[in-house]
Structure 1
Amino acid sequence: MATKEGKVIGEVAFDRPGQLRLLVVFDALLRESSVTKAAAGLGLQSPAVSRMLAQLRDLYGDPLFTRTAKGLVATPFAEGLRLRLRALAAETEQLVTAPLDGPPPARETVSDDWIRVPLISPPPLAVRPSVLLQGQPTPDDFARKLARIGHNAEPQKRLAKYIAISGSGVGRCRPLAREEAEDALSIILEGEADPVQVGALLATMQYRGVTSAEMAGFIQALRRHVGAFDISHGLADLDWPAYLSPKLKNPPWFLHAARLVSMAGYRVLLHGHYGQGVEAGKLELAAEMAGIPLCASIDEARAALVASSIAYLPIGGASAQIQRLFGLYSLLEMRLPLNTAVHLLNPLGAASSLLGVATPSRRDMMRDTAGLLGVQNLSILGSNRDFAEFTPFRTTTLFRLVDGEPRDTRVIARRSVAGMSPPAAYTSREYWHAVWSGAARDDAAEAIVVDTAAAALLTIPRCPAETFEAARAQAVALWQSRNSENRGQATSRSKSLHHPVSFSQ
């Protein structure tokens, strides 16, 4: 294999002048999103640019671009290099053209005797966005300015850089790299960000759409902030996030499912949040009624798992700062990337996680994010809500990771399940409790609980069930034995109230 300058990568050897030329071509491809347009701008033939793109791919070990109907789309790796390449290309052009333009103009000097803050600062001139005023920073200036803000700059300065990178408009922005996203959220979590910066970063990222790399960086920051345990500690078998919208008024049937999984001998950690309204304590109340230990810290949750095999940790117990950040919803009326990232927090390093993701486009993103974090076993319920509760009355796909490999499991809808509306004698909370105790019978609610438990059991690596049907059979047996002392004690009153009707979720 031929070498030059001692640099050999893959099967291709590069000399330094050739490398510089490749980087200029790389910059042109990022700007134009087209081989043809990049070639025209550089005065080259398209086949030559295509050959150099192939060399770049070999150099970096990354595809760099994918072809779509709208042109070339940069990969996250390529996006991470955009501003550095633009600064390099701009500086190269400046060095080449400087001798032709003459020496740079001398800076004006100002006498200290005449310094005074103007009474009224001039407002910006109203112009078309495409018009550059004399002295206005160009995209090249912008790229060089951001490149000068290093990793050791003060937190607010670094966060300002990430905001500019993420949301400065077409041609000037790109997704954050994983390390940048981690640093950005760490600054916010440690209370070192200006309030305006917090809203600016999270809102612009949500509007643009968060990438898997950004989400992975956010989750790493969250886990470090709360002192989460690694999976190697084996403290829990299943992590079960429960972050519910306060607009949802349904009973938390999934808590009954978590109880069944715990009854099977698996350690289940639930963590969650239910807004800041009048029902903010709904999950805490339900956990107390279900005999699930409430924990005010990760250490308490760890001890509860040892004693009871199940625990509920409100997010405020893990971090008051995260709970405060959730309060931004009332100010912005929109979900933020933090609301999604916290689903993969996994405070006790469980061997598997069970999630619910309502938006189809986010299911693959969350699974990809889990893969970036090294998660080996995961199930995402493709349901109509962002918490893990099965909807057995519609065909559901489980988007899974099994030993680190993507695998989908399709569960056909149940069509022959009758249910009942809560009788007038019961409140929603009383009815939820009565279904568990056997004082009330609701086939539809039981189906929700059993199928949710089946999805959880299928996710746990050491559970012997290899199919959803086998896991469902195990969940049915657990449901039937949940209250052996109360079975058969349904009163004649509750029987008279049982009148099957159509039931939908």
Structure 2
Amino acid sequence: MQILGRGPGRSRNLTAEEAEAAMGLILDGRADPHAIGALLMLMRYRGESPEEIAGFTRALRASLPPMPPADLDWPSYAAGRSRGLPWFLLAARLVARSGARVLIHGWAPPQPEGPELREALALAGIGLAADPDEAGRLLDRDGIAFLPLDGFAPQALGLLRLREVLGLRSCINTVCRMLNPAGAAAAVQGVFHPPYMALQQAAGALLGQRRLGILKGGGGEFERNPSKAVTLWRLIGGQPERTELAPLLPEPQRLADGLRSPQALAALWDGRIDDAFARAIVIATAEAALLTLGSPARAEALWEERGRSLAA
């Protein structure tokens, strides 16, 4: 607090070591709740740095229980207020069919619009794990699992939910996206505000992330709009790169303008409906994830070869 709040000309951002120490005090229960809120809001006001995000993330990682191995980390922490159906879930499942173990982790509060998370996961054919052990069993069986934040990092969830008290998001949203609890070599991340792409790319490099793909996605999720050009901010071998992805469809559309019934998630997968825009969202998002993985698999081929049942 003294470092961040000294006033004009004297305050500065935290170093990675200072941020790690601060988060350690919070996790150990030695930080006053008022100071925690003030710290997070000062960081929001100043604008968090890659070093601060990396330091917070390191401290949180050190508090996590043992996790099952995964090839691709897929965080899902967007509020979802400006998006349509979570087609990215089908994209993640498609990537799992390439042979990659995909761990989705996140937290989604109840939404007045759109399906509840549990309903969407079931319709997308993705198992919901209660804890890391169950996530491991689902990954062994299906190649994909969703592990909620409270199932492996309840203290991080408590910090995330301070938004309900403070009325504003904090850097904890970004830290959770960077968490990569299973230590996967590749990770994808979505953002809502474009400046966070550079922030998360730089923080990922500080954390030693070898492969990373970040894009501005639907509602802040890693979900690509196939009717628009997209920049994929990447780490390849830990080095920053940018890849321009051209539109796949001729006419621009909004993600929120498509199908609205949650049942469409299952219906699209098993072929009971064939909506060109929804299908393109799934394929384009999966293709960006496969690119991040460095996988030779092609999303369109995986889609054509998928089983005609969510149980397949």
Structure 1 length as normaliser, TM-score? 0.57
What CA distance in whole angstroms lies between the structure 2 residues aligned with 1:301 and 1:485?
Answer: 22
Which secondary structure state, in structure 2, belongs to the residue aligned with residue 167 of structure 1? coil
Q: 1:242 to 1:298 in 2, by over 3 A?
A: same
Whichever structure has more helix as a proportion of its residues is 1
Say if 2:116 is the partner of 1:289. no
User: Which letter does structure 2 place at the counterpart of 1:333?
Assistant: G
Q: Which residue of 2 aligns with 1:203?
A: 41
Say if 2:277 is the partner of 1:444. yes
The answer on whether the counterparts of 2:103 and 2:144 sit within 8 Å (CA) in structure 1 is: yes
Which secondary structure state, in structure 2, belongs to the residue aligned with residue 166 of structure 1? coil
The answer on whether the counterparts of 1:450 and 1:475 sit within 8 Å (CA) in structure 2 is: yes
Q: Which residue of 2 aligns with 1:335?
A: 169
Determine which structure has greater relative contact order: mean sequence separation of CA pairs < 8 Å that are 6+ residues apart, divided by chain length: 2
Shift of 1:279: 8.0
Q: Which residue of 2 aligns with 1:478?
A: 302
What CA distance in whole angstroms lies between the structure 1 residues aligned with 2:111 and 2:37?
Answer: 21
The answer on whether the counterparts of 2:80 and 2:220 sit within 8 Å (CA) in structure 1 is: no
Q: 1:464 aligns with which of 289, 296, 299?
A: 296
**RMSD of aligned Cα (Å):** 2.3
Identify unmatched segments of 5+ residues in structure 2: none
The answer on whether the counterparts of 1:383 and 1:396 sit within 8 Å (CA) in structure 2 is: no
The answer on whether the counterparts of 1:298 and 1:347 sit within 8 Å (CA) in structure 2 is: no
Q: Which residue of 2 aligns with 1:432?
A: 265
Identify unmatched segments of 5+ residues in structure 1: 1-162, 466-473, 487-505
Q: 1:289 to 1:323 in 2, by over 3 A?
A: same
CA radius of gyration, larger in: 1
Q: Which residue of 2 aligns with 1:269?
A: 103
User: Which letter does structure 2 place at the counterpart of 1:476?
Assistant: E
Which secondary structure state, in structure 2, belongs to the residue aligned with residue 381 of structure 1? strand
Q: Which residue of 1 aligns with 2:212?
A: 378
Shift of 1:228: 5.9
What CA distance in whole angstroms lies between the structure 1 residues aligned with 2:252 and 2:167?
Answer: 37
Say if 2:190 is the partner of 1:356. yes
Shift of 1:333: 2.0
What CA distance in whole angstroms lies between the structure 2 residues aligned with 1:412 and 1:221?
Answer: 38
Q: Which residue of 1 aligns with 2:65?
A: 227
Structure 2 length as normaliser, TM-score? 0.91
Q: Which residue of 2 aligns with 1:170?
A: 8
> What is the number of residues matched between the two proteins?
307
Shift of 1:399: 0.7
The answer on whether the counterparts of 2:269 and 2:309 sit within 8 Å (CA) in structure 1 is: no
User: Which letter does structure 2 place at the counterpart of 1:186?
Assistant: G
- Bigger drift between 412-421 and 442-451 goes to 412-421
User: Which letter does structure 2 place at the counterpart of 1:457?
Assistant: L
The answer on whether the counterparts of 1:298 and 1:348 sit within 8 Å (CA) in structure 2 is: no
Say if 2:129 is the partner of 1:305. no
Give the percent of matched residue pairs that are identical in Structure 1 and Structure 2: 41
The answer on whether the counterparts of 1:417 and 1:443 sit within 8 Å (CA) in structure 2 is: no
User: Which letter does structure 1 place at the counterpart of 2:63?
Assistant: H
Q: 2:24 aligns with which of 183, 186, 193?
A: 186
Q: 1:483 to 1:307 in 2, by over 3 A?
A: closer
Shift of 1:225: 1.6
What CA distance in whole angstroms lies between the structure 2 residues aligned with 1:279 and 1:182?
Answer: 37
Which secondary structure state, in structure 1, belongs to the residue aligned with residue 247 of structure 2? coil
What CA distance in whole angstroms lies between the structure 2 residues aligned with 1:242 and 1:442?
Answer: 24
What CA distance in whole angstroms lies between the structure 1 residues aligned with 2:197 and 2:82?
Answer: 21
Q: 2:230 aligns with which of 396, 410, 415?
A: 396
User: Which letter does structure 1 place at the counterpart of 2:154?
Assistant: A
User: Which letter does structure 2 place at the counterpart of 1:190?
Assistant: D
The answer on whether the counterparts of 2:229 and 2:244 sit within 8 Å (CA) in structure 1 is: yes
